[in-house]
Amino acid sequence: MNTTVHLKKLRDELNSVFDKTIEDQETDGRPHYYSGALYEFSQQLSDQAIREILTVVCAQLEGATLASAVGLYRQAFASLRLALEMGLSAVYFSVHRLELNEWLDGREDIHWNRLVDDDKGVLSDRFAKAFFPELVGEMKDFKTRTIKLYRGLSEFVHGNNETWAKSGIALKYRADLNRQYRTQCGQVFESILFVLCCRYTKSLSAEALESLTFISDDFSHVSGIRQAFGGPKDI
């Protein structure tokens, strides 16, 4: 079989998985909504460098969703992990400009341990106290869940043995991994949006807050964020 014939065969297999994915009655538009919502938030920021990083995050989420739709589940989870890293990094770099400039010119890497550091990380009590004190009580839970999410996604990146049992090596539609992708995509979105809200809500203009009122629905369970974006005090 020559290369062209082989690639066409793979394309047909990808299309078959895609057809089964969109037939899944549980499939909805939420993954696309997540990238769109983060993009809308980024457009309210005056910092061009951070906007550009968040635009890459949105592209990663879209790419992850496409990979999942055609059965490239391992690649989808790897892209989700990168989106999570870069989303949190955008917020981290917004207050660590030296590291941002070093990263932009290739002299610095993204370090996960710095992002979740107990003192300087974007999910620390210190960070919340500096930018959105009302969220201090939420930090521990969000940090715990975000670290657990990152570790779960990392299993696919590092090729842990159990992930091969889940995904296999053949192109095939897998309803369980499709559901897992949608769940973890939502969790990545929630973690990134939470740190964005913590960092920027207090400094956004009234017009910007009004344009982002959909966030009160996404965080209807977090009183401080819900109220800041126009939601009710009690639900």
Q: What is the spatial distance between Cα 88 and Cα 85, in angstroms, rounded to a whole number?
A: 5
Whether 151 shows a pLDDT value over 70: the answer reads yes
Question: Distance between CA 127 and CA 132 in Å, rounded?
Answer: 8
Supply the pLDDT for residue 166: 56
Confidence of residue 185 (pLDDT cuts 50, 70, 90): very high
Closest among 64, 67, 63, 117 to 89, alpha carbons compared: 117
Expressed in angstroms, the distance from the first to the final Cα of the chain is: 62
| Percentage of the chain modeled with pLDDT above 90 | 72
Global pTM value: 0.92
What would the pLDDT profile of 199-231 be if each residue is shown by its tens digit? 999 999 999 999 999 999 999 999 999 999 988
Residue-level pLDDT at 161? 46
Please state, in angstroms and rounded to a whole number, the distance separating the CA atoms of residues 210 and 40.
Answer: 12
Convert the pLDDT of each residue in 123-146 to its tens digit: 999 999 999 999 999 999 999 999
